[in-house]
Structure 1
């Protein structure tokens, strides 16, 4: 029988609280509902010493994880929605991004050594009307008095979805102090495989500020630059600015390629996609609040503008 007890990695006096994360991403900053228009994710990450024994055993067994380190598990639920450039058109042009939604649950395994973080996550959910993205957008737009989306009848069809992602980050690969500020640079590599997303990616994040917490940046909704769903609290107020770049070679994106096993709307996907982001994060003891502004290069042939959206994240340890 698989054990569900506390991991042997930490003594009783080393146990720490778990971490709750709320991430909201929206293209409100661009002034339009288009492309990746909204994402919301709720997740919980176990604290040091709180991972079940099966998670610790799995981390020790995986060849691409470190031989030793602090193991944590995460559980989450989220919803993404994608729309064409004009949501007031009942029958959007065939060469514009299709309407699509993604509703999923996730379980993740991570191991951190102090200088390196390995993250493996499995997402399972539904694409299509079963994602409830059409109802969610219509409901929210009704509340705020925004234009009612007219074209959801042409969204991609229902399809079960699965994505397995892996990211490795090296914290403070370069670090130091300048003019009284601390800085560090954290490179990363990773990838995803599944019928929803398949890609390989690499990039780096630079942080500059006061009382930098021992973390890997604020969490984001994938595909994105990696962050961490946990952080080490500081005794005092902390503030840092960050900037990052990520490049992806994309072999599969169901929200552009359309359904896997049946005909649906689709567009010609770009193979290479890049993200640039800038942001600011505040930490006050056990709370981290961050805002990230993201610029994403066009993802398909015919998308003429860079995709711009904001990401707001709240992290609480309790």
Structure 2
């Protein structure tokens, strides 16, 4: 049976709104999510995919009794650059150029109070990631500085990551005119040969005619899809929300820092990355658009900006 996407989403990160083009410069993620599985999904790729992931996780001790589920598949590109793009030689007191192209396979499980997301990521760092061509093409189109130092990018490495996110709807208050206030807490952990770390976060939102989904912290540079579930459970009128949160990422290992040190880079390595985020979302029937800002600075003596903005579009098919 052909694969028919029940939902598609596009996430774009860029640090241009913060007037910078350094460190986490840009990211692009395109993905698919199955329709909701509760044991009664019609036969097809979505059901087979969710059941396959569920069976593997149940062998590891996970339980999905009385919980809804959905699976995702996505492709993501990440671009890391130093602050000064005009130099062709290595800038040893800043980060090197690096691109990461990856595929992620996730299973989401939830009820009305909490959700879990399990993720496997497989990818490639290095020239084969296509980051150099993508950034140069975009900069040519928008008239930005041509990045000169991609000849110094980190070499080829196969990347494998496992990630887990748990989100809790701590409080929900309902008011007149389909308005709600919600408070969420969440935590995550990632292990792999590219990044090892953990984080916690707390978020709030207030809005009108919102879907019953989740706001959550996610892994470093990743995007949790807890905000995509239950899009079809709201009514057909337009909805909106304003939201914000605080998060703290603890970084135990990051390939970018360890590998660049081998080549003589000497910038200070951060162990903690505090992040604030704030944004707005709009909802129509089966559609959502969110714009978020993530101001951040690593906890080092001479920090440089790690801030970026994110546009998140999703569309659900009936």
TM category (shorter chain) comes to 0.7 to 0.9
Match of 1:25 in 2: 13
Where do 1:94-243 residues align within 5 Å? 94-171=92-169, 173-177=170-174, 181-217=179-215, 222-223=220-221, 226-228=224-226, 229-233=228-232, 234-235=234-235, 236-243=237-244
Compute the displacement of 1:66 (Å).
Answer: 4.5
1:78 and 2:82 correspond: no
Compute the displacement of 1:109 (Å).
Answer: 1.3
**Cα distance in 2 between the residues matched to 1:301 and 1:155:** 25
Compute the displacement of 1:301 (Å).
Answer: 5.8
199 and 254 in structure 1: CA distance in 2 versus 1, 3 angstrom threshold = same
**SS of aligned partner of 1:296:** coil
91 and 311 in structure 1: CA distance in 2 versus 1, 3 angstrom threshold = same
Q: TM-score, normalised by structure 1?
A: 0.86
Which consecutive residues of structure 1, in runs of 5 or more, have no partner in the other structure? Answer: 5-15
From 16, 19, 25, give the equivalent of 1:37: 25
Match of 1:93 in 2: 91
CA RMSD, Structure 1 to Structure 2 (Å) = 2.6
Which consecutive residues of structure 2, in runs of 5 or more, have no partner in the other structure? Answer: none
Q: After superposition, give the CA deviation of every residue in 1:267-316 in whole Å (9 maximum; x if it has no partner).
A: 432111111100101000110000010112226664x3432211001010
**SS of aligned partner of 1:307:** coil
259 and 97 in structure 1: CA distance in 2 versus 1, 3 angstrom threshold = closer
Compute the displacement of 1:17 (Å).
Answer: 7.4
Q: TM-score, normalised by structure 2?
A: 0.86
Q: After superposition, give the CA deviation of every residue in 1:237-259 in whole Å (9 maximum; x if it has no partner).
A: 11001101111111111223226
**Matched-pair contact (CA < 8 Å) for 1:84–1:92:** no
Compute the displacement of 1:219 (Å).
Answer: 9.7
Compute the displacement of 1:30 (Å).
Answer: 1.2
Match of 1:8 in 2: none
